[in-house]
Amino acid sequence: MKKIAIVFTILFFGFVNLNKADEGMWIPLLIEKFNIEDMQEKGFKLSAEDIYSINKACIKDAIVIFGRGCTGDLVSDQGLLLTNHHCGYGAIQKHSSIEHDYLTDGFWAMNKTQELPNPNLTVKFLNRIEDVTDKVLGNVAENLSEKEREVIIVANIEKIKTEAIGETQLIASVKPFYYGNQYYLFVYEEYKDVRLVGAPPSAIGKFGGDTDNWVWPRHTGDFSIFRIYADKDNKPAEYSPDNVPYKPKKFLPISIKGINEGDFTWVLGYPGGTMQYITSDAIKLIKDVRNPDRIMLRDKRLDVMNAYMDRNDTIRIKYASKHARISNSWKRWKGEIIGLERLNAIDNKVEFEKEFNEWASNHNEYKNVVSELTNIYGNIEKYVVAYDYYREAIMAVEIVNFAARFNDLIKMKDADIEKELRDIKIEELKKRMQDFYKDYIQSIDQEIFNELLPMYYSNVDQEFIPDLSGLGLSDNYSQFIESLFSSTIFNNKDKMLELLNSESEDNFKVLENDPVFKFYKTFNELYTNEVFPVYDSLDNRANNLYRNYMKGIMEMQKHKVLFPDANFTMRVSYGEVKGSYPRDGVEYIYQTTLDGIIEKDNPNIYDYDVPDKLKDLYKTKDYGMYEVDGTVPVCFIATNHTTGGNSGSPVLDSEGNLIGLNFDRVWEGIMSDMVFDPEQSRNISLDIRYVLFIVDKFAGAQHLINEMTIIE
């Protein structure tokens, strides 16, 4: 089901005068047309073709989609790749145990035979971009219904993708821009053998933990190192010990010359999604309803997890990745509320909408678009609340979410599906089971369930409360939940494996009649029948209106250059290294150093317990070529417009050399997905000199340094 544009994956429209081009995430294909002169005036020393070209190796060939939501950067001719520690966190955690606690101790492969494979981890290289707007919309008539329009567009897109990849193993994607007023084709090549090479201990890679997340000053060594492998012909291949290191078309040279305030800097990566210039009603819904609800629900989950993780190292390892995923958005939502209020965002958007409506009064096509969107927001709110509680209270319970994965298998019972296809599904579920049980603690899940279920029943509209009396729910939620856990098969790994390995048809009945599965199914049916149909109807109407609204703004703002919203396609953003003044009497300088890490050292707090070896290096001042003024630079801030997905993106200097890894934004500018504030919006980057210092001096992995091209 599509996420509603105005609520969940809101495609933003933005318009910007290139005199303030720190704002914007630009399509590499169009840099020559829209940005190169401005970039060069600000200090950029390369050409547009150095960034993106299909005729020669260029910087885009050194950048990958890492996993499902991050960016990675090639830094050697042997497929060596840098990304953030939090991007590699899941892989590091999966390899960790009490015996080999790579989260706490770090991991360093001292030769290629020690590098660790990661099933299901892939990287994608961008092959090319093409404007396919005419191909997608060329035969879409004005008088078509929206349903007819969508059928034609989907068919056109499938044809474009098929023709783009032919008989190759390439992957094609066609993405809408400006709410579907334009379309671009992206062709990728995917490599499936990606191995863990190095990761600092979490006391470096996650230094400061949740306390420092989204804030400046920052002292986090947020990096990890992987290597891409290929077959003997340098082509993608599944993992094999016979694979060899990938030889890239291009890799990034690394500059340790240093940075200064005012230096030109730019980011090339895969920002996931932004919402700039959504309407005032959308902001109200996010700021006053969605974010507070989701924060409250995640507060409960995190409180339970923290209590267990603080007193048990095994649990800390098992739940580290889960905790990080939950807390990241939880803290961001808090910052968004503060930032939107500080900028008076709702009133400012109301003023823009008045201006638009005044212009639209002379353009019939756009006359009522804002008021119709307002009407949709009024109707959608209770469905949004129900959706958020379904996701954050019901499906956030691990065992319920796990049981939901078996729904497709159970449906196969009555369907005319060959046994071979069922067996494939069963094998897929067995693999998922291994991951689930490896990191599952029932007592945590049950305690979270006890907190969340009453909140659902107290805060969701009565029409979205399912009847669970048949499962034994009365006023005693705790007793009901205890009964579910004591009678379900889903919390028993051995019984689940025995059941899936058996070929008896009765196994389907066991799964279907399981109380936890029935609990999931009851909620799922309610949402499928009562929430999603209305939601989809409003969603479709909103998409149509936003497409028209965007078209109107493009006409109204002809004198301005518009940048498209982020949608996890490759983008260029650029700005300068710059500090900020977040509030009266406070100045943030642009850089932090190793001195600040030592100042924060606290052995009694896991996230601030600086490793002894790092403290020894500080005492002896053994900094090597990474020393600057008696210390080592750690992080810096700049005005580049970034968002989620830019994690791991290379931060580059005017000559295209790697100077840092983007990993975060500052708290005061965290609302930049919706409103970019040039005074406060800053991206936080890890200084590449600190990366090299840790690899070289802390880990003793000089062989990795030797692979790289270092510019002094």
Tokens representing residue 410 in the block: 């159970």
Q: Give the model's confidence band at 12: pLDDT under 50 very low, under 70 low, under 90 confident, else very high.
A: very low
Residue 423 has a pLDDT of: 80
The pair phi, psi for residue 35, each rounded to 5°, is: -125, -25
Distance of CA 501 to the CA centre of its chain: 36
CA dist list (Å): 213 to 207, 332, 610: 9, 9, 17
Residue 429 burial by Cβ neighbours in a 10 Å radius (0-12, 13-18, 19+): middle
Is the pLDDT confidence value at 18 over 60? no
- Structure tokens given for 462: 């009565």
More confident position, 178 or 505: 178
pLDDT of the residue at 416: 63
Q: Are 219 and 600 in contact (CB under 8 A)?
A: yes
Q: What is the mean pLDDT of residues 480-502?
A: 92
Q: What is the 3-state secondary structure (H, E, C) of 241-298?
A: CCCEECCCCCCCCEECCCCCCCCEEEEEECCCCCCCCCCHHHHHHHHHHHHHHHHHHH
What is the average pLDDT across 314-330?
89
CA distance 74 to 64: 8
DSSP string, 302-346: HHHHHHHHHH-HHHHHHHHHHHHHHHHHHHHHHHHHHHHHHTTHH
pLDDT, tens digit (0-9, with 9 covering 90-100), for 81-121: 999 999 999 999 999 888 899 999 999 999 999 999 999 99
pLDDT in tens, 662-684: 999 999 999 999 999 999 999 99
State yes or no: pLDDT of 9 exceeds 50: no
* 13-122+192-275+565-708: CATH, from 2.40.10.120, 2.70.98.90, 3.40.50.300, 1.10.3720.10: 2.40.10.120
Q: What is the pLDDT of residue 97?
A: 87
Question: Would you state the pLDDT for residue 278?
Answer: 86
Mean pLDDT of 373-401: 95
What pLDDT is attached to residue 427? 87
Residue 660: is its pLDDT beyond 90?
yes
In contact, 626 and 257? CB cutoff 8 Å: no
Structure confidence by residue, pLDDT tens digits, 250-266: 999 999 999 999 999 99
Query: Does the pLDDT value for residue 2 go beyond 80?
Result: no
Distance CA 487, CA 446 (A): 13
Question: Can you name the residues that pair with 683 across neighbouring β-strands?
Answer: 638, 665
Q: 91, 101 in Cβ contact below 8 A?
A: no
Judged against a pLDDT cut of 50, whether residue 270 lies above it is answered with: yes
Pick left, alpha or beta for residue 656 (phi over 0 → left; psi -120 to 50 → alpha; otherwise beta).
left
Q: Answer yes or no: is pLDDT of 202 > 70.
A: yes
Q: What is the pLDDT of residues 549-565, one digit of tens each?
A: 999 999 999 988 889 99
Q: Which of 148, 87, 139, 160 is nearest to 118 (CA)?
A: 87
Please answer whether residues 178 and 554 qualify as being in contact, where contact means their C-beta atoms are separated by less than 8 angstroms.
yes
Best CA proximity match to 428, nearest among 119, 125, 197: 119
Evaluate whether 266 touches 574 at the Cβ level (below 8 Å). yes
Alpha-carbon distance 657 to 251, whole Å?
10
Task: Kindly tell me if the per-residue pLDDT of 612 is higher than 50.
Answer: yes
**CA–CA gap between residue 494 and residue 489 (Å, rounded):** 9
- Tell me: pLDDT of 5 over 60: no
Q: Which of 35-44, 172-181, 429-438 has the lowest mean pLDDT?
A: 429-438
469 compared with 375, residue with greater pLDDT = 375
CA–CA gap between residue 144 and residue 134 (Å, rounded): 17
Amino acid in position 541 = R
Quote the pLDDT of residue 19. Answer: 41
pLDDT category of residue 414 using cuts at 50, 70 and 90: low
| The pLDDT of residue 130 is above 90 | yes
- 341-369 confidence digits (pLDDT tens): 999 999 999 999 999 999 999 999 999 99
pLDDT band (50, 70, 90) for residue 505? confident
Query: How does pLDDT run across 435-461, given as a tens digit for each residue?
Result: 899 899 999 999 999 999 999 999 999
Most confident of 172-186, 303-317, 539-553: 172-186
pLDDT of residue 517: 96
Q: Report, as an integer, the average pLDDT of 539-551.
A: 89
- Known catalytic residues are 86, 222, 647
Which distant-in-sequence residues (6+ apart) come within 8 Å of 149 by Cβ?
A: 140
Please, which pLDDT band fits residue 11 given cuts at 50, 70 and 90?
Answer: very low
- How many residues are present in the chain? 712
pLDDT for 385: 95
Residue 408's pLDDT band, with cuts at 50, 70 and 90, is: confident
pLDDT for the residue 412:
79
What is the average per-residue pLDDT within 48-66? 97
At residue 586, the 3 state secondary structure works out as strand
Q: Cis peptide leading into 217, omega within 30 of 0?
A: yes
Per-residue tokens: 445: 């899940």
Write down the pLDDT at residue 352.
Answer: 96
d(CA 304, CA 402): 19
Determine the pLDDT at residue 399: 97
Q: Kindly report, as residue ranges, where domains of CATH 2.40.10.120 are found in the chain.
A: 13-122+192-275+565-708
Write down the pLDDT at residue 417: 67
Q: What pLDDT does 424 receive?
A: 81
For the chain, give the mean pLDDT.
Answer: 92
What are residue 279's phi and psi, to 5 degrees? Answer: -75, 165
pLDDT > 90 in the chain, percent: 81
Tokens at residue 117, please? 């494979």
Whole-angstrom distance, CA of residue 136 vs CA of residue 44: 35
